[in-house]
Chain A
Amino acid sequence: MSDSQRIRLLSSSLIVGFFLMWEVLCILLNVSDLVLPRPSEIIVTMWTRFPVLWPHILQTLYSTLTGFTLGVIIGVVLGVMVGTSKIAYAVAYPLLVGFSSIPKVAVVPIFVLWFGSGTTPAILTAMVICVFPIVVNIATGLATTEPELEDVFKTLGASKSEILWNVGLPRAMPYFFASLKVAITLSFVGAVLSETVASNMGIGNVMMTASSNFQVSLVFAGLIILALMGVSLYAAFSWLERRVTGWATRGNDIAVT
């Protein structure tokens, strides 16, 4: 068994063990369903309520991905603008860091104020919350490009845009994809948060409603669904990262014969 297989086996048994512990402790300590339902109950709820939950899952996914896509577009454009000019980079960097450290949750009330509750604030929150990591990463990737690599193109008489396409952007790709992983997670958090506060759709809203009706196992079912969605989104983007920017990690496969 290889190292990676062993690690995979261990982490799956850790996850299974966690839920088993939970189940067993609930039974042993006789914990009430209203406080902490057992995993088996949660799974049953998830199964029986699935037809009702499904549209909400799609809604959350829709808000997340739409906001994320908009955020990526804005982030890339801003990042390229900031990263290609040394002066712009130096001038804008403090502002960017400042912006990105504001708790973006605080924008939800503002969006609700402007656009009312519903899908729009969820999309906008998902967007705003993921823009900054992308801008900062693209700009850093571009600004730290080795001048020697650019020199190769300059001696050939390449134009600025050719240098950007052939050196700057590929060079910034590992940064970009690393930031996508972070960004998709943030977008997801943003969308769910906004749904929780101001929407009548989405998993966030389901959990909020269920909680006020004391449907505790439904609240937990929502939580598990969110966890699964979050993990899948993250996994999808780290897979993409590995596919696209394998050169940056250099597979060290040493053949053993």
Chain B
Amino acid sequence: MSGGMNMSASIPATPAKPAMPGPVHIRPALELQDASVVFGAGDKAVTALSPTSLKMKSGDFLALVGPSGCGKSTILKLVSNLLHPSSGLVLVGGKEAKAKELRIGMAFQNPTMLPWLTIEQNIMVPLKIVEPFKKTFRQDKKGAFRDRVHALLRQVGLQDFATHYPWQLSGGMLQRSNLCRALIHEPDLLLLDEPFGALDQFTREELWQIMQNLYLDRKPTVLLVTHDLREAGYLANRICVMSARPGRIISDEPVNIPQPRDIGMIYSPEFVEMTQGLRELIAQVRST
């Protein structure tokens, strides 16, 4: 159960100029040090997250699984600085989480598109806010940036809906747009909260492959929350399992299958065995 821990143990506490060659510029490492979140105070206090520690290397792809309500979304909000820890520390790139310092792409659990903008304009939002795109936004929004949005929309099969409004799309379509918005500005840190939840199996598998290619292409650090163990196993390098509410991380295992992975792999006996193991683990923590 603790087999995966040796991996994170090798990460330096601060990513001070890592000796390793490789990535062109330093990817943010991410660290939670006994971070906890408590909502409210006194009798009404709700512990959303028990003190949790977690380290991620630059370029890691970590999948976070666990029963509903255990605090997975809360962890993502801590990392993206939407929430502040009630205790402990959240370090992103070795510094305390400050959204401004690095490019974060976040796909929220509920697709939150601005209703007054078309899908295309919604997906362009990060380009409007984040440097270096912000500088040239005015010139490029009708040209280069729009092409970029359309290319991404084509990948997820929404090319015909660029100029539609969010309320004209189905739940799954919105979720795909939501994913596009998280990816458009080539973030260094990707936070994905059940991004494929509302999709049918085929679309989902298609998007997994797209996701894998995008990941291997740019190697961002990815934190993926999911309920789908096959999704976790197919995409991630590491799978963390959280206990029931209020959650902690109770298992942290690497996925030792070389990438790129073939989608057919998820039906292979070894893979099924691995997901079975995770399944049992979650079944255990749910009942306790």
Q: Does A49 contact B (CB under 8 A)?
A: no
Q: Does B272 contact A (CB under 8 A)?
A: no
Within 8 A of A (CB), among B155-187: 165, 167, 181, 185
A interface, over-half SS: helix
Docked-complex contact A247 and B81, CB < 8 angstroms: no
CB proximity of A157 to chain B, nearest CB, Å:
4
Within 8 A of A (CB), among B54-107: 80-82, 98-101, 104, 106
Q: Does B108 contact A (CB under 8 A)?
A: yes
Which stretch (B21-29, B111-119, B236-244) binds chain A? B111-119
Docked-complex contact A151 and B112, CB < 8 angstroms: yes
Q: How many contacts A-B (CB < 8 Å)?
A: 61
Docked-complex contact B130 and A149, CB < 8 angstroms: no
How many A residues are at the interface, by size bracket? 20 to 34
Docked-complex contact A170 and B99, CB < 8 angstroms: no
Report the nearest A residue to B114, measured CB to CB. A149
Docked-complex contact B100 and A157, CB < 8 angstroms: yes
Given contacts A146-B112, A247-B115, contact A153 B82 (CB under 8 A): no
Docked-complex contact A157 and B129, CB < 8 angstroms: yes
Docked-complex contact A170 and B112, CB < 8 angstroms: no
The distance in angstroms between the C-alpha atoms of A195 and B82, with both chains bound, is 55
Docked-complex contact B112 and A155, CB < 8 angstroms: no
Docked-complex contact B110 and A148, CB < 8 angstroms: yes
Taking CB atoms, residues of chain A closer than 8 Å to B101 are 157
Taking CB atoms, residues of chain A closer than 8 Å to B285 are none
CB proximity of A162 to chain B, nearest CB, Å:
6
The distance in angstroms between the C-alpha atoms of A148 and B166, with both chains bound, is 15
Report the nearest A residue to B128, measured CB to CB. A166
Docked-complex contact B114 and A155, CB < 8 angstroms: no
Q: Does A223 contact B (CB under 8 A)?
A: no
The distance in angstroms between the C-alpha atoms of A7 and B181, with both chains bound, is 43
CB proximity of A255 to chain B, nearest CB, Å:
13
The distance in angstroms between the C-alpha atoms of A151 and B185, with both chains bound, is 17
Residues of A within 8 A of B (CB): 146, 148-149, 151-158, 162, 166-167, 170-171, 173, 245, 247-248, 250
Residues of B within 8 A of A (CB): 80-82, 98-101, 104, 106, 108, 110, 112, 114-116, 125-126, 128-130, 165, 167, 181, 185, 191
